[in-house]
C-alpha cells in the first residue's frame, strides 16, 4: 500500500515537472517571437522607440515567468 502511495506521489511530481517544462517551452517560443519583433522594430525608426521599449518589457516579463517556473521545479525536486 505504501508503495502505491509513493508511486502516486512520484507520478504527480513527474506530471508537474512535465507541465512546467511544457510551459517553459511555450514561454521560450514566445520570447523568440518577441525577439524577432524587436529586431523588426529596430529597423523601423518611426515611432519605434516606444515599440522597442514595450517589446523589451514583454521579453523581460516572459523571462521572469521562466525564472518562477524554474523555482517551482527546484521545489519539486
Quick: pLDDT tens for 2-14.
554 454 556 677 7
Q: What is the pTM of this model?
A: 0.74
What share of the chain has pLDDT > 70, as a percent? 78
Domain containing residue 56: 2-76
Question: Total structural domains in the chain?
Answer: 1
Q: Is the pLDDT score of 64 beyond 70?
A: yes
Q: How many CA atoms lie within 13 A of 62 on its CB side?
A: 19
List the one residue out of 27, 3, 21, 23 whose CA is nearest residue 77: 21
Amino acid at each position: 500500500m505504501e508503495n502505491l502511495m509513493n508511486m502516486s506521489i512520484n507520478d504527480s511530481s513527474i506530471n508537474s515537472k512535465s507541465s512546467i517544462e511544457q510551459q517553459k517551452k511555450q514561454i521560450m517560443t514566445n520570447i523568440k517571437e518577441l525577439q524577432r519583433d524587436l529586431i523588426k522594430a529596430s529597423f523601423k525608426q518611426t515611432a519605434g522607440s516606444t515599440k522597442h521599449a514595450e517589446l523589451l518589457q514583454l521579453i523581460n516579463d516572459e523571462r521572469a515567468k521562466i525564472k518562477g517556473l524554474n523555482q517551482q521545479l527546484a521545489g519539486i525536486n
